[in-house]
Structure 1
Amino acid sequence: MRKNILRKNILLVIIVFFVSLLIEIFGFNYRYFFLNENQKGIIEICDSDIKTNNIIFDSGYIATNTQSSITIENSKSIDILRLKIILDKNSSAFEIRTQYPDTKKNERKINLADPLYNDQVFLKIDSKVHPTIELNFNEYLKNNLETSVHISRIEIDNQFYFDWSRFFLLFSILYVLLVLIFNFKYFILKLHITFLIIAIIFGINIVITMPTYFSFDEREHFVKAYQTASFDFGIEKNKEIYWPENIERFFSFNGISTSFDTTEERNNYYDLYKKNDYETKRYYDTTAKPYLPTAYVPAAIGIFLGKFLSLPFINVFYLGRLFNLIAYCLVISILIKQTLIGKRLIFLLGLLPGMLYLACSYSADPVTYSFSLATVTIFINMFYSNKITTKKLVLYLLASSIMITGKITYAPLALLFLILPNKNMPIIKKNISVFKNGFALKFLMLLVLGCVITVNTLYSSFNGLAQWVIEGVSVEGQINFIITHIFTYANICLNYVLKSLPSYFEGPIGNFAYSGTFSSGISYIVTFFMLVLAVVDNNELPKNMGIKNKIYLLFCVLLSWGLVITSLYITFTPVGSLTISGVQGRYFAPLLFPLLLLFKTNKIKNTFKEVHINGFVICLCTFLLLLLLFKLVSGYLV
C-alpha cells in the first residue's frame, strides 16, 4: 500500500513538473516562437522610427517640459514583445504614460521608474503591435517642474525569458491542489497538516512575488528585524551596525508605488543587490523603534542565517520574510492540532488572505496575531478542562507575554484567565492554606503579566512613543486633552467605531497594502461565513460559556480595541482632533477569535458531517488564496 502511494505521488510530481514547464515555455512565451529569427534578441530602434516632441538630444533623450513625448513608429515587419528603456543615472524618478492601451494591464496603465533602484523599464506588448506607441511624460513633469527625464536608449527586447519564480508558482500550486484532491480522505481530517501545507506553499509564493516594501511600513519593520539580527536590541541609543555597501539605494524606495511592473524589471532590480559584503557601519532610524524585539525574532533568525552563509543581500531580505512565514505557520498549525474547540475557526483565521500576506512580510503583526490566537486557544482549553495543569498556565503566560510585547494594546486578552474556575486551578503548596485555591495563583499570574507590561512600557517610553513626524501630534498634549475632555473623547471613539466598523473585517480578509484589496463583497461573504461557522460548528462544545463569562470576554475585546484606537489617537493624531488617524482593519484581527467565541453555543444543533464542514472551509480558504496569488502575479510576474 505504501509503495503504491509513493509511486502515485512520484508520478504526480513528474506530471505536474512537465505540465508547469510546458505552460511556462509555450504558454507565457508563446509569441517568441512565432518570431522570425532576425526578430529575436535585442534589436535597436532606428532613428527614423522615432519621432520626438520637445526632446533635447545629449547622449540620449532628455524630456524637460510637459509637452515632451516620444513616439515609436513600429515597422510592420518587426514584432515587439517588450520595449526596453534604459535610464541615465542623472534621470529623476518619473512616470511613463503610454497611449498604447494594452501595454500595461492594470487600472492605471502607468509604469514607474527611478534610476536609484531600477535603471531599466520594460513595457510589455501583450497583443498584436499597434503601428505607433507614444510615451508621454507630461503627467509627471507637470507636478515636478524642476526635474528632467534622461533616457540613454530605447531597444526592442525580443529575448526568451524563463521565469523561475512563475514556474515554481505553477508547479507548487498545481501539485498541492492535486495532492489535496487525490488524498482528501486523509487531509480533510488532518486540518493542522492541511493548514501547514496550504499556508507554506501559498506563503512562499507570496514571499517571492510581493515586491519589497509592499506590505504596511515594511521598510521600518525590516530595519528593526535587521537590527535584532545584528544584536542591536534598542537598549543602546543610535547603535551603528554593519549594512551592505549600497543600502542607501535599497532604502530609497519605500512602498509609494510599484518598484517593478514586469518580470524583467524585477530581475534587473535583484541584480542591483546581489552583493554579500556587510562592511558599511551606520545607524538607521525606524518608526518600529518602540516595539520590543520579540516580534522580530523569526525574521531576525532568517537574516542572521543568510548573513552567516554570506548570501547576497537580496536573498537575505527574502530569507527574513520566509522565516517570519514559517514561524506563523508552525504556531497556528500547533494551535489547530491542540485546541479542544474551534479547529475550523482557527484554520480559517490563520488563512485569511490579508493576514497571510502580512505573515509573508516584515511586520510585528504576524507574531502578535498568531500569539493572540495562542492566548485565546490555551484559555479555552483550560476553561473547558476539568483540571488545569501548571504546564498550561506557563504556556498561557508565555503566549500572552509574547502577544503583549508585540503590541501592548492587546494586554486585556491576557486577563481572560481570571474567569477560569478556581476549583480547577492547580494547587502549588498543599500545606499552606492560601495556596489551596486559585486566587493566589491568579494573583501571581497578574504579577508576572504586570511585569511584562511594565517592561514593555518602559522600553517604548525609552525609545519614544510617537515616531511618526506628524504636525500637531503631541503625546503629552493628547493625554491631557483626553483627561480634561473625557466625555468628548468617548463620543469621538463611539462615532469613529460605528463609522469604520466594516473595515475591521475587510482589513484582515482582503487588504494587501500597496498590492490593492479584494472587493467589499468578498469580505462581507467571508465575514458572514465566519459568523455562521462560529454558530453552527458546535458539536465539540461540551458546555456553554455562560452569559457572565461572555460579558467578561466581550469586555476584554472592547477594552483591547479601546486601547488600540487610544494609542493611535495619542501617537498618530493631532491634539484635539475629532477623528482618529492611522487605525487599520488589521489591528482588529487579534480580536476576531475571542469575538467569534461569543457566538458559540451548544443549544443550536446541526447535522453537518465533520468532513463536509472541513471540506468547505478548505475549499473557501484555497479559493481566496488563489485570488490573492492571481492578483499578485498579474501585477508583478507578467
Structure 2
Amino acid sequence: MVFILVTWFSTVYGYDVMHMKFQILVLLFVALLGVFCIVYYFMHSSDDELHKVAFVTILAFGLICCLAVPICHHVDELEHLTRAEITSEGAIFPDWIGDEKGIDRLYNASSGERSKLMNNGVGFNTIGSMYFYEKNRTLTVFQTDHDTDKINQSVYMRGSAFEQNPFYGYLPQGIGIFIAKLLDLNVIWILWLGRIFNMIFYAGVVSLAVKKASCLKIPIIAIACIPVALYQSASVSIDPMIFALGLLAIAYFMYMYKSDEKSLDNKYVAIYSVICLLLGLCKLPYLAFIFLLLLVPKRNFKRYNVLVILLGILAVAAIGVLWSRYSTPALMHSWRSSLNYVDSAKQLDFLLHNPSQILVFLKHTLTTGPWDMLSELFNFDYWTPESFVRFRFINVLLAIFLAIVLLVYPSDFKFDLKAKLGALAVFIIVYLGTFFVQLLTWANVGNMMVEVHMRYFIPLLALIPIIVQLRKNPFEKEMFDKYVMVFAVGFAATLVLAIFTRFY
C-alpha cells in the first residue's frame, strides 16, 4: 500500500492534474485491488496454485488498461486493429489490392489524393468504422463524440494491415471484434473487445506456462506482469501472442529438463517444436528457441533419438525460412514502402564492402541498445517524449527490481553448465538477430544505430535466471517469493495509476 502511494505521488507531483478528486478515487480503488491480489497470492502460494495467481493478477490490472488506454494509443495499434478486423472476417491472408506502385502513390499522396486512391482500390479492404479510429487516434472516449456510433460495416480501404504477420496472431482479437459486430455494439467495442480477448488469451497462456514450469514460476509471473508487458498486452497487437508463446516455450523446456528419467517420448519434442514454430513465425529470431531441445538431458527420454530432435529443429528452421520469403516482401504493402532509404539488399552489400561497420553495429547493440531499452520498462506513452522524464523514478525502481529477480533468484533447482551455456547462446542469437533484422528492414543503408524496443525481448528475460544462478544464495526462497509478488503487484498497480494520471 505504501509502495503504491509513493509511486502514485511520483506521477502527480509537479504536474498539472485536471481532476485530482477522481485520481484519488482511482488510487483507492487500485490500492484495494492490489491488496486483493496480494492476499490472493498468500492464499494460493503453493507451486500447484501459482498459475491461478498469474491469471488473476494479470486480468485484474490488464482489463483496466484495456479500457483506460486511449484509442489506438499503442504503437502501430491502428494497423494491428485493421489486421484483426480482417481476421474477424475469416481471412487468413489479407488481400492487397492494387499494383506494386500503388502503395508508393498512396503514401506519397496528399490527404485528398489518398482518399481518391483508396476509393479507386489501393490497399486492404476493411470496414467503415476504421475511419473513426483514424480520426480519433490517441484520444480518450471523453474527447470524442462518436464512440457511441454504431459499427459501420461498409467497405473501407486502409493502406496497411500487417500482411507479413501470421493470421493466428490476431485470432483472440478477431474473436472479440467478431462478437462486437455480431451484437451490433457501439464502434468503441471493436477496440475494447479486441483488447479484452487479447488480454484474456495472454493471461491464459501465461497461466499455462506457470503451471507447466517445473521451477522459476515466480520469475515468470514477475516478467509477465512488468508494466511494458502488461501495457502492450492490453492492445490488439500481436505482441501478447509473442510474449505468451515465448514464456510458454521456456516453461516447457524447463519441464522437459527437470522431468524424471525415461519419462519423455517423441510427443514432447513435437509439442515443443510446434510452440517454437508458432512463436518464431510471429518474430523470426525467436525460432532459435528450438535449439533448447538439444539441452534436455538424454536420460529424460524413454529412447533418446537424436534424429527426431534434429528433424524437429530442421522442420522449424525450414518453415521459418519459407515464411520469411513471404513476409519480407509483404512489408512493402504498407506505409513502410515510403521509407525509400530502406533496402535490405543494399544494406547487406554495404556491410560486405565495409566490414569494419559490423563492429560499429555490435558496439551499439551491446552498449547503447540495452540502456535505451531499459528506459522503456515503464514508458507507455511513446508519442510524448516527456513521459520518459515523468516516470523516470518508477523506471529506475523497476530496473532494480528486475535485476534482483532475474540475477539473484534463489531457485531450488540448478541447471548444469551445458544448459547455462546453451541458454546463453540462444539468448545471444535472439538478441543479436533481433537487432540484425531491424538493421535490414528499418535502418537506412549505412546506418548502424538500430532502434530496438524493450517489448521485443520480454520472453528473452526468462532465460536469465537459467543462465545466472548463484552457487551460494543468501536469500530464503519462500520469503524472496513473497517480496517479488508484492512488488510485482505494486508495479502493475502503478501502471494503471500512471495511465489515469497521464490521460485523465
Give the TM-score taking structure 2 as reference length. 0.82
Cα distance in structure 2, aligned partners of 1:228 and 1:294: 9
Q: Summarize the alignment of residues 611-630 of structure 1 with structure 2, pairs less than 5 Å apart.
A: 612-630=479-497
2:306 alignment partner, one of 439, 442, 456? 439
1:243 is matched with 127
| Gap regions ≥5 residues in structure 2 | 1-11, 98-122
8 Å contact kept, 1:353–1:628: yes
8 Å contact kept, 1:324–1:362: yes
Going from structure 1 to structure 2, the CA distance change for 1:166 and 1:283 (only over 3 Å counts) comes to: farther
Cα distance in structure 2, aligned partners of 1:282 and 1:453: 33
Going from structure 1 to structure 2, the CA distance change for 1:240 and 1:626 (only over 3 Å counts) comes to: closer
Going from structure 1 to structure 2, the CA distance change for 1:125 and 1:587 (only over 3 Å counts) comes to: closer
Deviation at 1:401, TM superposition (A): 1.5
Going from structure 1 to structure 2, the CA distance change for 1:388 and 1:172 (only over 3 Å counts) comes to: farther
Going from structure 1 to structure 2, the CA distance change for 1:184 and 1:376 (only over 3 Å counts) comes to: closer
1:113 is matched with none
Cα distance in structure 1, aligned partners of 2:19 and 2:233: 34
Is 2:70 the partner of 1:211? Answer: yes
Cα distance in structure 2, aligned partners of 1:526 and 1:195: 19
How big is each residue's C-alpha offset from its partner over 1:178-211, in whole Å with a ceiling of 9 and x where there is no partner? 5446556413333322222221011111111100
SS of 2:458's equivalent in the other structure is: helix
Deviation at 1:442, TM superposition (A): 1.0
Q: Summarize the alignment of residues 73-472 of structure 1 with structure 2, pairs less than 5 Å apart.
A: 173=30, 176-180=33-37, 185-189=42-46, 190-234=49-93, 236-238=95-97, 241-244=125-128, 247-255=130-138, 259-260=139-140, 266-267=141-142, 269=144, 271-286=145-160, 288-385=162-259, 386=261, 387-427=263-303, 437-464=304-331, 467=334, 468=336, 469-472=338-341
How big is each residue's C-alpha offset from its partner over 1:326-375, in whole Å with a ceiling of 9 and x where there is no partner? 11111111211221110110010010011100000121211111111111
1:579 alignment partner, one of 444, 449, 454? 449
Cα distance in structure 2, aligned partners of 1:184 and 1:595: 24
8 Å contact kept, 2:410–2:477: no
Tell me which amino acid in the other structure corresponds to 1:293.
Answer: F
Tell me which amino acid in the other structure corresponds to 2:269.
Answer: L
1:537 is matched with 409
Going from structure 1 to structure 2, the CA distance change for 1:213 and 1:355 (only over 3 Å counts) comes to: same
How big is each residue's C-alpha offset from its partner over 1:233-287, in whole Å with a ceiling of 9 and x where there is no partner? 335333854513x5324313544xxx24xxxxx3352x41333344321332226
| Gap regions ≥5 residues in structure 1 | 1-104, 110-122, 128-162, 261-265, 428-436
Q: Percent identity?
A: 18
Give the number of the structure whose residues are more often helix, by fraction: 2
8 Å contact kept, 2:408–2:473: yes
Greater RCO, 1 or 2 (C-alpha within 8 Å, sep 6+): 2
Deviation at 1:577, TM superposition (A): 1.5
8 Å contact kept, 2:342–2:444: yes
Going from structure 1 to structure 2, the CA distance change for 1:488 and 1:320 (only over 3 Å counts) comes to: same
Question: Comparing 402-411 with 340-349, which one deviates more in the overlay?
Answer: 402-411
Tell me which amino acid in the other structure corresponds to 1:479.
Answer: L
SS of 1:577's equivalent in the other structure is: coil
Cα distance in structure 1, aligned partners of 2:222 and 2:191: 28
How big is each residue's C-alpha offset from its partner over 1:559-598, in whole Å with a ceiling of 9 and x where there is no partner? 1111111111111111111422x31122222211113321
Cα distance in structure 2, aligned partners of 1:368 and 1:241: 26
SS of 2:135's equivalent in the other structure is: coil
8 Å contact kept, 2:249–2:276: yes
SS of 1:216's equivalent in the other structure is: coil
SS of 1:502's equivalent in the other structure is: helix
Going from structure 1 to structure 2, the CA distance change for 1:364 and 1:183 (only over 3 Å counts) comes to: closer
Give the number of the structure whose residues are more often strand, by fraction: 1
Going from structure 1 to structure 2, the CA distance change for 1:343 and 1:382 (only over 3 Å counts) comes to: same
1:97 is matched with none
Is 2:370 the partner of 1:498? Answer: no
Cα distance in structure 1, aligned partners of 2:464 and 2:481: 21
Question: Comparing 500-509 with 301-310, which one deviates more in the overlay?
Answer: 500-509
Going from structure 1 to structure 2, the CA distance change for 1:201 and 1:487 (only over 3 Å counts) comes to: same
How big is each residue's C-alpha offset from its partner over 1:4-27, in whole Å with a ceiling of 9 and x where there is no partner? xxxxxxxxxxxxxxxxxxxxxxxx
Tell me which amino acid in the other structure corresponds to 1:419.
Answer: L
How big is each residue's C-alpha offset from its partner over 1:455-492, in whole Å with a ceiling of 9 and x where there is no partner? 42133034136842224221221122223333422332
SS of 1:396's equivalent in the other structure is: helix
Cα distance in structure 1, aligned partners of 2:459 and 2:42: 32
Tell me which amino acid in the other structure corresponds to 1:545.
Answer: D
| Structure with greater Cα Rg | 1
Is 2:466 the partner of 1:597? Answer: yes
1:135 is matched with none
